């Protein structure tokens, strides 16, 4: 199929908010979606902001500080919204010739990002201007074919969203179970009934200044796990072992740092991003990993730490950071062995379901990428 220049199908729009309409103010992320703007608009002349309508596009011409991706998005979830006057806004001239979602699929391809970065100009700032956008070439099949392609892609995208919603519900279930057992002390007793409300024996603990089950203890985090430093990864080759940083999986490498389940604790950066991993991994030097000292304790530790606000700490100087000294000295409630084993069993069921869903989403994401790559090879 022959390629056609995008400029034949789109036109720039410049609809300003002269009537000072109360519309959501949105920004554009490099993930190519709209996000609520964090700009401080106090004292700002809102009449200069641009109005964007549903099925219209905006993009950020300045590409110099946005990594390898171009900030471009299609408005779908609002009838109208405001965007910065620095953004370029445009629409499709005839949606019976070019489908907005089909065009957004083209913008989502990594090849488009590479093209736009390559054609950005400017010595100090790199700019992908309107002329450059109009010079973009793409295959434009019949509108029926475009809609068919979009329907296939959206079916996959919607399945991913459904799976993400399921994972969120599973996480909420896990958190509710943790609270029920270890905050409300309503874990199952010998008869399977809620412990505290069924008259389970409680004793006052002076360290926590509250009652706890009589055969539970209070100790230190270091009684339950050994906190270990991650290691530098720059010497490693690309492989299949997940490489974890404070933001999650950074890449995949060919070496294993630890091959058993572990709780990963950020040392710098996003301190609240506590992770529980079950498969072999490598963690970077800004990420602690842990080795359990007793059985059936890791999922409990993960839930305890996940409920804490580590981001409010500033143990370091420049950025929020964590130390082994702080972690090891943390006071922690230590349930009896039977309760820990039961909790680990219940949470493992939830975790296994989440893992299976996440694996399915990985395959669906690969399918999305395949569908995007096929756009360049469309036939008449």
Domain-embedded: residue 344: no
Q: What is the mean pLDDT of residues 122-129?
A: 76
Q: What is the mean pLDDT of residues 307-322?
A: 71
Domain-embedded: residue 248: yes
**pLDDT tens-digit readout, 134-163:** 999 999 999 999 999 999 999 999 999 999
Q: Which domain holds residue 310?
A: 217-334
Provide the whole-model pTM: 0.80
Distance of alpha carbon 284 from the chain centroid: 19
Q: Looking at the structure, do residues 116 and 224 belong to the same domain, yes or no?
A: no
CATH number of the CATH domain containing 28: 3.90.220.20
Domain-embedded: residue 163: no
Structure confidence at residue 320 (pLDDT): 62
**pLDDT tens-digit readout, 245-278:** 988 999 999 999 999 999 999 998 788 899 999 9
Structure confidence at residue 322 (pLDDT): 85
Q: Looking at the structure, do residues 47 and 136 belong to the same domain, yes or no?
A: yes
Domain-embedded: residue 26: yes
Choice between 231 and 321, residue whose per-residue pLDDT is larger: 231
Q: How many domains does the chain have?
A: 2
- Which span out of 60-64, 165-169, 373-377 was modeled with the highest average pLDDT? 165-169
Q: Looking at the structure, do residues 110 and 7 belong to the same domain, yes or no?
A: yes
**Is the pLDDT confidence value at 335 over 90?**
yes
Please state, rounded to an integer, the average pLDDT across all residues of the chain. Answer: 93
**pLDDT tens-digit readout, 167-216:** 999 999 999 999 999 999 999 999 999 999 999 999 999 999 999 999 99
Domain-embedded: residue 184: no
The residue out of 140, 163, 186 marking a domain boundary is: 140
Q: Looking at the structure, do residues 239 and 330 belong to the same domain, yes or no?
A: yes
Domain-embedded: residue 59: yes
Structure confidence at residue 192 (pLDDT): 93
């Amino acid at each position: 199929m022959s390629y056609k220049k995008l400029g034949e199908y789109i036109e720039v729009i410049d609809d300003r908010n002269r009537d000072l309409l109360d519309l959501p103010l949105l920004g554009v992320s490099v993930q190519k979606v709209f996000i609520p703007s964090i700009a401080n608009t106090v004292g700002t002349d809102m009449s200069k902001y641009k109005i964007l309508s549903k099925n219209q596009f905006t993009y950020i011409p300045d590409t110099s500080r946005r990594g390898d991706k171009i900030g471009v998005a299609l408005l779908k979830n609002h009838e109208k919204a405001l965007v910065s006057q620095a953004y370029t806004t445009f629409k499709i001239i005839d949606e019976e010739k070019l489908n907005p979602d089909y065009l957004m699929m083209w913008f989502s391809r990594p090849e488009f990002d590479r093209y736009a970065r390559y054609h950005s100009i400017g010595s100090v700032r790199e700019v992908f201007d309107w002329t450059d956008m109009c010079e973009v070439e793409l295959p434009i099949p019949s509108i029926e074919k475009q809609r068919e392609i979009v329907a296939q892609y959206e079916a996959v995208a919607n399945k991913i969203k459904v799976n993400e919603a399921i994972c969120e519900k599973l996480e909420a279930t896990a958190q509710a179970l943790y609270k029920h057992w270890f905050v409300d002390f309503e874990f199952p007793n010998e008869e399977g009934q809620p412990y505290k409300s069924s008259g389970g024996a409680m004793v006052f603990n002076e360290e926590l200044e509250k009652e706890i089950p009589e055969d539970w203890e209070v100790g230190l985090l270091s009684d339950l796990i050994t906190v270990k430093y991650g290691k530098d990864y720059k010497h490693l080759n690309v492989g299949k072992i997940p490489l974890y940083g404070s933001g999650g999986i950074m890449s995949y490498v060919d070496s294993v740092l630890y091959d058993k389940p572990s709780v990963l604790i950020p040392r710098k950066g996003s301190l609240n991003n506590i992770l529980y991993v079950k498969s072999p991994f490598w963690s970077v030097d800004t990420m602690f990993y842990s080795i359990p000292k007793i059985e059936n304790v890791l999922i409990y530790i993960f839930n305890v730490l996940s409920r804490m606000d580590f981001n409010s700490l500033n143990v370091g100087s420049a950025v929020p950071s964590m130390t082994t000294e702080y972690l090891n000295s943390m006071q922690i409630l230590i349930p009896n062995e039977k309760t820990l084993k039961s909790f680990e069993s219940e949470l493992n069921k939830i975790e296994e379901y989440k893992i299976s869903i996440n694996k399915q989403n990985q395959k669906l994401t690969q399918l999305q990428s395949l569908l995007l790559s096929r756009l360049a090879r469309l036939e008449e």
